[in-house]
Every structure is written in C-alpha cells, then in structure tokens.
Amino acid sequence: MKIINFISSSAIPMIIAIIIIYGLLEKNKVYDTFVEGAKEGMEIVVKLFPTLLGIFIAIGALRSSGVLDFIIQFISPLTNVFHIPSEIMPLAILRPISGSASTAIATDILTNFGVDSKIGLIASTIMGSTETTLYTIAIYTSCVGIKKTRFVLACALLGDFVGMLTSVVIWGFLS
C-alpha cells in the first residue's frame, strides 16, 4: 500500500520533471513555451466564458423556477407506462445540460436511496453512460466557430436517451 501511495504522490512531479528534462534535451526554452501555452489557455477561457455563463444561468433558472418539477409532472404518465422511476427524472433531464447539476442530483439520489438500491444503480449507470451533451457541443462548437449543430445535437441527444433508457431496462431486469 505504501508503494501505491508513493507512486500516486510522485506521479505529477515526475511528469513535470520529465517534460522539463525533455524540453532541455531538445534545446527548447521550457519556461517561454510554458508562458505561451498559458497565454493561449487564457484566450480560450475568455472565448468560452460567455457560453459557460449562459449555460450556468439557464440551469440555475430551470432548477429554481420550478419548471423542472413541472416538466417531470407533465411527462410522468409516459414514464409510468415504461416503469421509469420518477426519482431519476431530474437526473435524466439535467444530465445532457450540466455535469455539475447532474452530479449534485446523483449525489442526492445516492444519499437518499442508497448506492445499492435500484434507483441508485440506475442513477449511477446514467452518470456513466451519458454525456453533458449540450455543454460539450456548446463548448466545442463555440471554440471552433461552428454554427450548424442540428444533426450533431439530435444524434448526441438520441445517444443520451438510449443510455438512460438502457440503464432503466437493465436494472429493471437485474434488480
């Protein structure tokens, strides 16, 4: 166990040392290259900030306004037909939008129902088999400047839906 702790504690410093040594052997100006990379990183952050701010404000408004609860009540007749637990619906709705919101909801589900419960297992599988689709598409397309995302969005949301539905079906059979 001590060797694993040593390896995990020294991994990052060793990688940094290897990068510096390699840069020196290649006769690169390591610090100057680092500063240029940091400048480029800051430019990317400045470009992405408006998109991130918009997404976070929309998620906050959705959660605090009660719209999420209304949507869940509205689609509950359909989810009841397919035996989808209503407890996972906030996760299913917010997962394509926000990773942090879906992580908070998944944590709440696991705290309330337990990690080995059917609902906990469905929530864990949803977290592992889906992506924060809208966030990812918004970030990547705004960085590159792509405007037409119609087919990308439809395919990605279909993949999320299949992942969510499959997790409900599989844990319905297994538990």
Domain count, the chain: 1
Compute the distance between CA of residue 99 and CA of residue 96 in angstroms, rounded to an integer.
8
Distance between CA atoms of 15 and 34, rounded to whole angstroms? 14
For 27, the domain range is 2-174
Say what the pTM is: 0.66
pLDDT-based confidence at 120, cuts 50/70/90?
very high
Determine the pLDDT at residue 56.
74
Three-state SS at 97: coil
**Is 149 in contact with 141 (CB distance < 8 Å)?**
yes
Sign of torsion over alpha carbons 56, 94, 145, 148: negative
Sequence-separated (6 or more) residues with CB below 8 Å from residue 146: 140
Structure tokens at 1: 């166990």
Q: How many CB atoms lie within 10 A of CB 39?
A: 10
pLDDT of 88 = 93
> What pLDDT, in 10s, does the model give residues 5-43?
888 889 899 999 999 999 899 888 888 898 998 999 898
The model's confidence at residue 104, banded by pLDDT at 50, 70 and 90, is confident
pLDDT (tens digit per residue) in 37-93: 899 989 888 887 887 777 778 777 877 888 888 888 899 898 888 888 989 999 999
Whether the per-residue pLDDT at 148 is higher than 80: the answer is no
Q: What pLDDT, on a 0 to 100 scale, did the predictor assign at position 150?
A: 75
157 CB-contact burial (10 Å; exposed 0-12 / middle 13-18 / buried 19+): middle
